[in-house]
Amino acid sequence: MNESYAREHDSMLPVVREAGEAVMQFYTSQKYSVQHKDPENPVTEADYAAHRVIVGAIKRLFPQDAILSEESDSAEETARMQRDRFERPRVWIIDPIDGTREFIKGRDEFAVSVGLVAGDRAVAGFVFNPAKGYLLSGAEGIGLFLNGEKFTRMPEKPFAPPRIVVSRSEFKAGELKHLENAYPKLADYAVGSIAYKLALIADGTYDLAVSVRPKNEWDLAGGAALMNIAGLELADKAGAPMRFNKRALESSGIVAGTPAACAWYRSLAQ
């Protein structure tokens, strides 16, 4: 870590909090419209409210940087984001609400996710679950922070199998059968929002996360930065380390965790 991203972290921390507060206004009132980009991909007024808070702040604070958000207010904004991310050395990758389906169902397993990518590496990140009052953030050069306070990851517990967290939707769909011998009560470890799960790996609550479905960069960037800062591994299903701002934004699932936990999973999957 030769470069510190303290200014980026400290500038964006209150912005992410503000975005989460905007989301919570809709969550507590349960009064918002829902649209569907496709049958499995809903978007709400809360998504757009958080998007506008974050994007507006980045444009003001870091006008030289590119922005890539899952949401946008227009086709023109989408086209500009796609163009700018290849023309500028840094890009902020945003998921205004990761776990929108959980949000709609009233479950407190969703998160605002923001990651700063320099080159192809996530170097600063924020994952905020406002329903739980949980904000894990960090940046290269300054480490991790939990709700704004300096934080050190809890150590990995010396036993196998590793403490695991998985996707609720993948478990319900029967896509995680290969884990059920090692985890007979796998349902107990099912949590919504991949960004939130990555934060729970980065803070040491869990040691391993596995997802078999494709993921987009905005799902992962914020949590990936936290994983990098904590010295953890994040790879696609084939084992390739996760890189960002690629032309193809989708990856083939993920394996994330401590080096020992990821090695354990790879041996299980062989």
Within a 13 Å sphere around the CA of 83, how many CA atoms are in the beta-carbon half? 6
Given its phi and psi angles, is residue 257 left (phi above 0), alpha (psi -120 to 50 degrees) or beta? left
**How distant is the alpha carbon of residue 26 from its chain centre?**
21
Q: Is 18 a known ligand-binding residue?
A: no
Residue whose tokens read 């923001």? 114
Q: Is 98 a known ligand-binding residue?
A: yes
At residue 15, the 3 state secondary structure works out as helix
Q: Is 61 exposed, middle or buried (0-12, 13-18, 19+ CB in 10 A)?
A: middle
Please give the Cα distance from 180 to 222 (Å, whole number): 29
Within a 13 Å sphere around the CA of 170, how many CA atoms are in the beta-carbon half? 25
Partner residues linked to 143 by β-bridges: 139
Please report the beta strands in the chain, taking only residues with DSSP state E, as ranges in sequence order. Answer: 34-38, 41-44, 66-69, 90-98, 111-118, 121-129, 134-139, 143-146, 149-151, 164-167, 190-191, 208-211, 215-216, 233-236, 250-251, 254-257
Q: Is 95 a known ligand-binding residue?
A: yes
Q: Is 84 a known ligand-binding residue?
A: no
Q: Which two tokens stand for residue 181?
A: 């011998």
Q: Which two tokens stand for residue 31?
A: 């009064």
Q: Is 250 a known ligand-binding residue?
A: no
Please give the Cα distance from 219 to 111 (Å, whole number): 10
- Binding residues for Mg(2+) are 70, 95, 97-98, 219
- Binding residues are 70, 95, 97-98, 219
